Amino acid sequence: MADTDNSLVKRLKEALGTSYSVEGEIGRGGMGVVYHARDERLKRQVAIKVLPPELAFREDIRTRFLREAETAARLSHPHIVPIHSVGEGPDGLVYFVMAYVDGEPLGAKLKRRGQLPTEEARRIMQETSDALAAAHALGIVHRDVKPDNILLEGSRGRVVVTDFGIAKALSSTTGGATLTGTGVAIGTPHYMSPEQAAGDREIDGRSDLYSLGVVTYQMLTAELPFSAPTVPGILMKQITEAAPMVTDRRPDCPEDLAACVMRCLEKEPEARWPTAEALRRALESRSAQMWHPRCRGVYRLLVSPWR
């Protein structure tokens, strides 16, 4: 493993030339390896994400990855990590350079803290919704909303969402499957929408809202709504099983916040929030209500245009 890592760093340095100085690894996952680096020309800290070598050799995936990164680079929003540039080395190495976020992933915070205060969970959900609304307005669906892709910057923990479009880049050649031929996850089963779990090729922003509902459920209860010993078991539950009510596991959760989460977790996209912007506004106004805490899928909103 060490030899492989050293080889990847060497290849990356060769591709970057003197423009960037690689300073160390930040993290890694199925979607790639992230390095901390310095932009020598602009004198700023950056993060560089490299496509996994076992995928980069496939020209179809490499082309899609570059195209999706270029699309995501159009996003300019306070709650989205900006992409500065994308590129590839002469040996086929593919990478993109993005802003360095001085903070921690939400996933790390949840491992350390367990459940979060309800108002902190509301704020994180609201700021993430704001980011998703901006992306969806440009036709960009994240497809892999999960705690590790929600970064918390500074002492306040301002949300900055990363990795837009990467799941689409990798899933485009796998027919919407959960795993590629090399075993790299496309999306994350615990956070997948039912339509993703079923392998639907056409999904829209409401899939991201389902995933955000799972993330917020976890923030509020320190538990995932669905778990199983196998990936197929988790996917089947995502498709068929109703999530337990948030208030059953977190009785002090405000009713409107619980309603926002449970509506995100509806199995049918048409029953969820119509847009991320509608969800953001409901969270801000605290106006979402459920007819009855045990009636799944029946909601009343105090401001009718948001239905």
What pLDDT is stored for residue 179 in this prediction? Answer: 38
pLDDT single digits (tens) 100-116: 998 899 999 999 999 99
Percentage of residues of the chain with pLDDT beyond 70: 82
The model's confidence at residue 165, banded by pLDDT at 50, 70 and 90, is low
Cβ-proximal residues to 275 (8 Å cutoff; 6+ apart), any chain = 133, 136, 205
Rounded-to-integer distance, Cα 72 and Cα 98, Å? 11
What pLDDT is stored for residue 297 in this prediction? Answer: 44
> Per the residue annotation, which of 144, 148, 163, 256 is the catalytic one?
144
Cβ-proximal residues to 156 (8 Å cutoff; 6+ apart), any chain = none
What pLDDT is stored for residue 294 in this prediction? Answer: 41
Q: Compute the mean pLDDT over every residue in the chain, rounded to the nearest whole number.
A: 84
- The full set of domains in the chain, from first to last, is 22-99 (3.30.200.20), 103-306 (1.10.510.10)
- Residue 304 in this model has a pLDDT that exceeds 80: no
Rounded-to-integer distance, Cα 56 and Cα 96, Å? 13
What pLDDT is stored for residue 55 in this prediction? Answer: 66
144 is catalytic: yes
In this prediction, residues 280-307 reach a mean pLDDT of 60
pLDDT single digits (tens) 36-89: 999 999 999 999 988 776 666 677 777 777 777 787 888 889 999 999 988 888
DSSP bridge pairs for 99: 46
Cβ-proximal residues to 21 (8 Å cutoff; 6+ apart), any chain = 37, 38, 40
Tokens at residue 227, please? 């778990």
The model's confidence at residue 173, banded by pLDDT at 50, 70 and 90, is very low
Give the residue from 282, 101, 109, 296 showing the smallest Cα distance to 209. 282
